[in-house]
DNA sequence: GGTTATGTTATTTC
DNA sequence: AGAAATAACATAAC
């Protein structure tokens, strides 16, 4: 469950442990020095893109759920535990994820202006970065975490559908005004996804992602591995415009 | 059993 | 050296 909004949701679900001390650390991860986390008080939880950052007094534990990651709050999942944190008032368990131990100041590692869910997200900066990759296809560019941290394959497909843009359009063939609207749409759809997580309505959330039919004109959606990343694209050939090189 | 899937990084190859 | 392709990792569902 790895797109940005889902991680913000995990943050909201785990903030109950802020102010509590870690009583025990366990799991099979070798990236975390258990003894240096044990006894620490959880002071803050942040997210950056698809990462969640558990900030303690003297260090930070970063968890990325990757493709198959799962988590449980005050419960367990029947599979090998990657990282378990026991607090005074409950516990937090992560599975099949990437865990890292950070000591550097976060400000030195992260630039929150690239995180679409951050209040300091900078659309203009994202536009500049996009335009610095003129030959990329837009479907690949939207998944670039250095440009739009937090955007995943689901959000990508929704954004392109709503903007009526064909996913295989090359960046430098797309008018700047449309690039701007795409970036805005990444923010809008990310927050919309977050809302549906909060409301428990994710199943009804997607218009095209993992769907079969275009909701606008009811034609069958195309579903193909597209772009350099060969990720699943769901799109409508009729209502999503493919931009071609400007000639003449 | 094969394929697919919300992702990223390490390694190999050119 | 550095970009680009490939492999690797993890897991459940159809």
pLDDT in tens, chain A (248 residues): 689 999 999 999 999 999 999 999 999 999 999 999 999 999 999 999 999 999 999 999 999 999 999 999 999 999 999 999 999 999 999 999 999 999 888 988 899 999 999 999 999 999 999 999 999 999 999 999 999 999 999 999 999 999 999 999 999 999 999 999 999 999 999 999 999 999 999 888 999 999 999 999 999 999 999 999 999 999 999 999 999 887 75
Instruction: Burial-class residue A146 by CB neighbours within 10 Å (0-12, 13-18, 19+).
Output: exposed
CATH number belonging to the domain at A112-235, selected among 1.10.760.10, 3.30.499.10, 3.40.640.10, 1.10.8.50:
1.10.8.50
Whole-structure pTM value: 0.96
**Could you check: is the Cβ of residue A150 within 7 Å of any atom of nucleic acid strand B?**
no
Spatial contact of A123 and A183, defined as CB atoms under 8 Å apart: yes
**Closest nucleotide to residue A69 (Cα to C1')?**
C10
**Could you check: is the Cβ of residue A212 within 7 Å of any atom of nucleic acid strand B?**
no
Alpha-carbon distance values, A64 to A92, A96, A100 (Å): 14, 9, 9
Q: Cα–chain-centroid distance for residue A12? A: 15
Alpha-carbon distance values, A152 to A19, A22, A31, A241 (Å): 32, 32, 25, 21
Task: Quickly give A244 CA vs B6 C1' distance in Å.
Answer: 30
- What three-state secondary structure class fits A99? strand
Task: Quickly give A210 CA vs B2 C1' distance in Å.
Answer: 20
Domain locations in chain A?
4-109, 112-235
Q: Can A4-109 and A112-235 be said to share one CATH topology?
A: no
Instruction: Determine the pLDDT at residue A121.
Output: 97
Spatial contact of A43 and A110, defined as CB atoms under 8 Å apart: no
Alpha-carbon distance values, A101 to A32, A49, A50, A60, A162 (Å): 5, 17, 16, 6, 39
Give the pair of three-digit tokens for residue A105. Answer: 């100041």
Can you tell me the distance from the alpha carbon of A121 to that of A20, in angstroms, rounded to the nearest whole number? 30
Footprint of strand C on the protein (CB under 7 A): A 66-68, 77-80, 95-96, 228
Residue A71's CB is within 10 A of a number of other CB atoms, namely: 21
Alpha-carbon distance values, A49 to A4, A52, A57, A142 (Å): 5, 8, 23, 13
Task: Quickly give A223 CA vs B11 C1' distance in Å.
Answer: 31
Task: Quickly give A98 CA vs C9 C1' distance in Å.
Answer: 10
Topology (CATH) of A4-109: N-terminal domain of MutM-like DNA repair proteins (3.20.190)
**Could you check: is the Cβ of residue A115 within 7 Å of any atom of nucleic acid strand B?**
no
Which element (helix H / strand E) includes A56?
strand A51-56
Task: Quickly give A3 CA vs B5 C1' distance in Å.
Answer: 13
Can you tell me the distance from the alpha carbon of A80 to that of A83, in angstroms, rounded to the nearest whole number? 9
Q: How many residues does chain A have?
A: 248
**Could you check: is the Cβ of residue A232 within 7 Å of any atom of nucleic acid strand B?**
yes
Task: Quickly give A226 CA vs C5 C1' distance in Å.
Answer: 16
**Closest nucleotide to residue A66 (Cα to C1')?**
B7
Can you tell me the distance from the alpha carbon of A170 to that of A217, in angstroms, rounded to the nearest whole number? 25
Q: What is the DSSP letter of A22?
A: E
Instruction: Determine the pLDDT at residue A1.
Output: 63
């Amino acid at each position: 469950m790895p797109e940005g909004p889902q991680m913000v949701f995990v943050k909201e679900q785990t903030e109950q442990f802020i102010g509590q001390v870690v009583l025990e650390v366990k799991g099979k991860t070798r990236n975390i020095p258990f003894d240096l986390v044990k006894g620490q008080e959880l002071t803050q939880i942040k997210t950056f893109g698809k990462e969640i950052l558990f900030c303690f007094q003297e260090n930070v534990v970063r968890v990325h759920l990757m493709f198959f990651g799962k988590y449980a709050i005050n419960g367990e999942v029947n599979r090998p535990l990657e990282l378990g944190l026991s607090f005074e008032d409950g516990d937090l368990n992560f599975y099949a994820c990437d865990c890292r131990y950070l000591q550097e100041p976060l400000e030195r590692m992260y630039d929150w202006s690239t995180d679409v869910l951050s209040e300091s997200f900078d659309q203009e900066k994202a536009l500049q970065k996009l335009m610095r990759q003129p030959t990329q296809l837009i479907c690949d560019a939207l998944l670039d975490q250095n440009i739009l941290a937090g955007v995943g394959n689901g959000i990508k497909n929704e954004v392109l559908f709503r903007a009526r843009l064909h996913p295989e359009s090359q960046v430098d063939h797309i008018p700047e005004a449309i690039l701007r609207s795409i970036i805005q749409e990444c923010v809008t759809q990310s927050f919309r996804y977050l809302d549906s997580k909060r409301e428990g309505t994710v199943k009804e959330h997607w218009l095209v992602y993992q769907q079969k039919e275009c909701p606008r004109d009811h034609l069958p959606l195309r579903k193909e591995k597209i772009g350099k990343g060969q990720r699943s694209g769901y799109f409508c050939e009729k209502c999503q415009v493919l931009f071609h090189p400007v000639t003449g």
